[in-house]
């Protein structure tokens, strides 16, 4: 399944997503994703952070409230248009761009005069067709010892198919009622971690987070990948 097909679906789902996430994101993101992502990211006003696959920019807005300067991107033009409107109150604290995470060139075009201190991605790694170019580009854009915190669907527990070892894609929904099923891209944990290691990161933070009453099966894994070379 190509990035083009996947992008078409996200463009069709953009308005629904923006309404569902609103200004403060939804309960799932607030309770399951945000706390540990924020703990590992430890944002502060001196930070310059890249928000990867930012959706309607709800986490960029949260970072801007902490005084952080943010560059945020998504490949869905509709999502970026809605993000600019939704987060307009933060003015120049957040710059939004259309860029494709499957293209190293597209991400490297976001390079500014100063390197990013950190990068973050909430619940998008499993939606991205190919992730090696993203990790390579983020590594290049980060300052030394900078880190990339990403939250993604837990590949060991959350998949709609029987396959674990073999990378594959499948259709599913993120939020009940969304207009179109999106494409998910399953990768094993070793595939994700080995991309981090090959591109010059070490993993120095890791959480597995559960949702609501099910306290044994984590839905989300949150990883901090620190740039060492
Ligand atoms: C589940 S949403 C999460 C959005 C946002 N990070 C949040 O937490 O609300 C996944 C996002 O990934 C974006 N996305 C998927 N593939 C992408 C790619 N190749 N490049 C950039 N964005 C992508 C989608 O357009 C969508 O906005």
C-alpha 129 to ligand 1 mean position (Å): 11
What's residue 160's pLDDT?
Answer: 76
Write out the chain's pLDDT in tens, 229 residues.
Answer: 688 889 999 999 999 999 999 998 999 999 999 999 999 999 999 999 999 999 999 999 999 999 999 999 999 999 999 999 999 999 999 999 999 999 999 999 999 999 999 999 999 999 999 999 999 999 999 999 999 999 999 999 987 788 999 999 999 999 999 999 999 999 999 999 999 999 999 999 999 999 987 889 999 999 999 999 8
C-alpha 124 to ligand 1 mean position (Å): 5
C-beta of 59 in contact with ligand 1 (< 6 A): yes
C-alpha 23 to ligand 1 mean position (Å): 16
One-character DSSP codes across the chain: --HHHHHHHHHHHHHHHHHHHTTT--HHIIIIIHHHHHHHH---TT-EEEEET-TTSHHHHHHHHTT-EEEEEES-HHHHHHHHHHTGGGGGGEEEEE--TT-HHHHHTT--SS-EEEEEEES-GGG-S--HHHHHHHHHHEEEEEEEEEEEE-TTT--SSS-SSS-EEEEE-SSTT-SSPEEEEE--HHHHHHHHHHTTEEEEEEEEE-BTTB-SS-SEEEEEEEE--
C-beta of 124 in contact with ligand 1 (< 6 A): yes
Q: How many domains does the chain have?
A: 1
Taking the C-alpha atoms of residue 141 and residue 146, their distance in angstroms, rounded to an integer, is 9
Query: Which range of residues forms the domain containing residue 148?
Result: 3-227
C-beta of 137 in contact with ligand 1 (< 6 A): no
C-beta of 102 in contact with ligand 1 (< 6 A): yes
What's residue 7's pLDDT?
Answer: 95
Owner of token pair 């307009």: 88
User: Is the entire prediction scored with pTM above 0.85?
Assistant: yes
What's residue 1's pLDDT?
Answer: 65
C-beta of 54 in contact with ligand 1 (< 6 A): yes
CATH number for the domain harbouring residue 214 = 3.40.50.150
C-alpha 127 to ligand 1 mean position (Å): 7
């Amino acid at each position: 399944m190509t990035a083009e097909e996947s992008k078409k679906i996200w463009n069709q789902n953009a308005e629904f997503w923006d309404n569902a996430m609103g200004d403060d994101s939804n309960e799932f993101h607030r309770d399951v994703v945000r706390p540990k992502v924020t703990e590992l990211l430890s944002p502060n006003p001196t930070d310059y952070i890249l928000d990867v696959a930012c959706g309607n920019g709800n986490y960029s807005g949260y970072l801007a409230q902490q005084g952080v300067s943010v560059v945020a991107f998504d490949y869905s033009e509709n999502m970026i248009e809605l993000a600019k409107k939704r987060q307009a109150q933060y003015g120049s604290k957040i710059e939004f761009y259309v860029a494709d995470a499957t293209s190293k060139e597209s991400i490297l075009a976001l390079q500014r005069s100063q390197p990013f201190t950190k990068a973050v991605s909430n619940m998008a790694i499993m939606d991205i067709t190919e992730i090696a170019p993203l990790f390579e580009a983020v590594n290049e854009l980060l300052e030394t010892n900078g880190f990339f915190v990403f939250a993604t669907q837990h590949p060991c527990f959350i998949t709609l198919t029987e396959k674990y070892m073999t990378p594959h894609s499948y259709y599913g929904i993120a939020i009940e009622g969304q207009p179109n099923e999106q494409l998910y891209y399953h990768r094993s944990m070793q595939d994700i971690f080995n991309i981090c290691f090959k591109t010059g990161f070490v993993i120095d933070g890791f959480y597995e987070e559960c949702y609501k009453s099910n306290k044994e099966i984590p839905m989300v894994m949150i990883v901090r990948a620190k740039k060492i070379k």
